[in-house]
Amino acid sequence: MGTLIEEIFARKAGRPVQAGEILLLDVDYIMSHDNTTPLAIKAFRDIGKPIHDKNRIVIHFDHAYPAPNILAAENHKKIIEFVKEQGLPHLLHQGVCHQVMIEEGYITPGAIVIGADSHSNTYGAMGAFGTGLGSTEIGVAWITGKCWFKVPETIRVELSGRTQPGVYAKDVMIHIAGLLGMDGGTYRSVEFGGEYIDNLPMHERIIFPNMSTEIGAKCGLIAADDVTIEYLENETPAKGQGPFERIIPVKPRYERVLEVDVSVLAPQVSCHPDVDNVKPLTEIEGLEVHEVYIGTCTNARYEDIEIVANMLKGKKVNPLVRVIVTPASDRIYRKALTNGLIDILMDAGCTVTGSGCGACIGRHGGILAPGERALTTMNRNFIGRMGSPLSEIYLASPATAAATALTGKITDPRKTLELI
Amino acid sequence: MSKAWMFGENMNTDEIIPGRYNITIDPLELAKNVFCEVKPEYAKTARPGDVIVGGQNFGCGSSREHAPIAIKGSQAKCVIAPSFARIFFRNAINIGLPILECPEAAADIAEGDDIDINLSTGEIFNRTNGHRYQAQPLPDFVLKIADAGGIVNFLKTHDIQDLLA
């Protein structure tokens, strides 16, 4: 009996658990990437004990890959040497870690997955517990196979209705971030559910747990259902590894319930410099931008790129704006290439790059100059995140990004789509 | 003297150490750029034993351990804040950076105040204005990690199960 997080933790603990308890749980996968793995290796070596189960360790190259400088290359070299030395089977360089974890079938309902990356919350979209930790704890978990967790209280976000045309899951999540605030979910599990979520395909569900990080949440969860199981069985190598359990809340006691009717929402934007500085797009329409970036673990899945390509087909983006499209994974890139979407984007004047996180963390591939403003499909708009501390980041849906790419000014996608 | 350096609410990991500097894990190298955009004078003039005083949700954002390591590398004695972001809290404890949750102290201390801290009791004394504050005690299992100087040291001599024993 309990909230979704209590039910998921109870399966692992083998007994009922309640918010407030401290548990030491076995973890199913331990994720890290090129930015955070070197410190995990240091912790591992300092402790000086053997790896518990190398099959549970997954390392990605995505944050500074391909290496933009010598120091990044040294990190990659160090990690490859470690992988070789320990005989680790899962070193991946095929896209943004969270997307790859999901599309390669590592994330299944009820799994406990920790990652040395704050957006590891993303795995909650599959009905799994995913949370971000620092590198040292990742090195510790390599050795122990375990991690301690305080069972969090839960905020239930109950979403009803259906979005209007031109309004997407990203707009809904940005609206929620505005309502709860950037520390509104701190130490909490944020459980997303209701009729709207039930009807949502997997690629849009992922946005909610992904951005639960931005409101401070320990995890963001969506209970596994037919959509989850069909995705696992049809789209990932986890096919046939089931049966997958559909863990659901049972007589839950929520700390707070937030009800939102999504049918009344217009496109939303998180404005510089905080994710909870949320405005309806119409209030800031016309604001000039210098870069449009469509990428990241939040919004660069195939369907996102398809929305953008459909809106840009046969048109040209504003030539004074750098429009960068970075598919979230190689698999997505390849599908977009096969289906002609990349041609459409390039014909429209977009720059299409290999998958990775570089622009989102201001490392490479889209850095902003002082005084510049970007509209992006990212999840985070901290000051200086994409480069100069004197630049600004606005967060929005892929459709808003496409509409803005055409004009060079923040533009309502419903106009481009001729809905209004 | 331990000088207080004041920082605002929701101090995020990019503000503590921007992503472009995270290419190294050397604490002293990271410390050269700690808070470089929000308070550049800190890295240049802070002295060992100084105290960071933040606002609510200190350390929000990325999971990057570079943030608490950069602060530890600057040889700050402690970070005091009304509340800490979840991952920053764990990271700080795990790497042995002392942190104290104390809304009263964070609200009352002013930039440059001389602060005396007893980390084992959580008592904070402001020598400048004579006020005393009591920080939230850390849970027992967290104290075990903190007392060992971090999780790495703890595991050198213990099993992970000993945390909750």
* Identical fold, A21-260 and A269-416: yes
Q: What is the pTM of this model?
A: 0.92
Domain ranges in chain A are: 21-260, 269-416
Q: Hey, are the CB atoms on B90 and A134 less than 8 Å from each other?
A: yes
CA distance B97 to B95: 6
Position B150 in a domain: no
Position B120 in a domain: yes
Q: Hey, are the CB atoms on A274 and B10 less than 8 Å from each other?
A: yes
A45 in contact with B at a CB cutoff of 8 Å?
A: no
Residue B24 has a pLDDT of 83
CA distance B103 to chain A (A): 16
A369 in contact with B at a CB cutoff of 8 Å?
A: no
Position B34 in a domain: yes
Q: Which of A38, A46, A115 sits opposite B152 (nearest CB)?
A: A46
Q: Which residues of A touch B155 (CB under 8 A)?
A: 47, 49, 140, 143-144
ipTM of the complex: 0.85
Q: Hey, are the CB atoms on A134 and B65 less than 8 Å from each other?
A: yes
- The alpha carbon torsion through A81, A130, A358, A329 (nearest 10 deg) reads 90
Average pLDDT in chain A: 97
Residues A61-88 pLDDT 10s: 999 999 999 999 999 999 999 999 999 9
Tell me: pLDDT of B139 over 90. Answer: no
CATH architecture observed for domain A21-260 = 2-Layer Sandwich (3.30)
Residue A242 has a pLDDT of 86
Residue B147 has a pLDDT of 85
Domain count, chain B: 1
Position B165 in a domain: no
Say which residue the tokens 């089977």 belong to. Answer: A89
Tell me: pLDDT of B142 over 90. Answer: no
Q: What is the CATH number of the domain that holds B133?
A: 3.20.19.10
Q: Hey, are the CB atoms on A183 and B23 less than 8 Å from each other?
A: no
Residues B58-113 pLDDT 10s: 999 888 899 999 999 999 999 999 999 999 999 999 998 999 999 999 999 999 99
Q: Which of B91, B141, B163 sits opposite A134 (nearest CB)?
A: B91
Instruction: Using CA coordinates, name the residue in chain B closest to A36.
Output: B64
Residue B141 has a pLDDT of 86
Residue A245 has a pLDDT of 93
Position B80 in a domain: yes
- Which homologous superfamily does the CATH classification assign to the domain defined by A269-416? Aconitase, domain 3 (3.30.499.10)
**Residues of the domain holding B22:** 4-137
CA distance A72 to chain B (A): 7
CA distance A219 to chain B (A): 11
Instruction: Using CA coordinates, name the residue in chain A closest to B60.
Output: A216
CA distance A369 to A35: 23
CA distance A195 to chain B (A): 30
A218 in contact with B at a CB cutoff of 8 Å?
A: yes
Residues of chain A with pLDDT under 50: none
CA distance B87 to chain A (A): 6
